[in-house]
Amino acid sequence: MSPSATREPKPWYGRRGELLVVIQFALMFAFILMPTWSPLITPEQLAALAHWRWGILIPTWFVALAFGALGSVHIREYLTPLPYPVDHNRLIQHGVYALVRHPLYSSQLFAALGWVAFTASLSHLAILIAGFLFFDYKAAHEERWLTERHPEYADYARRVRKFVPWIY
């Protein structure tokens, strides 16, 4: 049998999830560059709700910043943009990883949620929903790889929520 016949087929998203990273960055840039579209609320109504809008934006961005910073610090030695774990990784279950399994994805979702609430933008809401579905898909692949490498990951996944503490 030839060596090429024994190779595993390459998944559509790349051996280590390279295409998933490209899609993630495309969604991020689409969110940033998307114009605000708020047809259900007038600018005057939006201005009248300023204190509520800031009251949502600040906490969600604080959570986003905390999840992003703490998530990065806890896995700094193993951090990679790819969902495939680096060869020398360890399963981190403390700190922010005791609250959510994917704090770096949560960070982006909370930041986007804050902006959607602040602007009442339906165009940004659509990208946030697409981003949530995408991160759920990407995390599922990452978790399969982590479970192969760390059999205790399955127990960790049963105890800790994926993106939102105590909820999802």
d(CA 132, CA 74): 23
Q: What are the tokens at 137? A: 């898909």
Q: What's this model's pTM, rounded to 2 decimal places?
A: 0.88
Per-residue pLDDT tens, the chain, 168 aa: give them. 444 444 555 677 778 889 999 999 999 999 999 999 999 999 999 999 999 999 999 999 999 999 999 999 999 888 888 888 888 889 999 999 999 999 999 999 999 999 999 999 999 999 999 999 999 999 999 999 999 999 999 999 999 999 999 999
Question: Which pLDDT does position 5 carry in this prediction?
Answer: 47
Q: Which of these, 146, 61, 62, lies nearest to 102 by C-alpha position?
A: 146
58 three-state secondary structure: helix
> What is the residue type of 76?
R
Phi, psi (rounded to 5 degrees) for 100: -140, 150
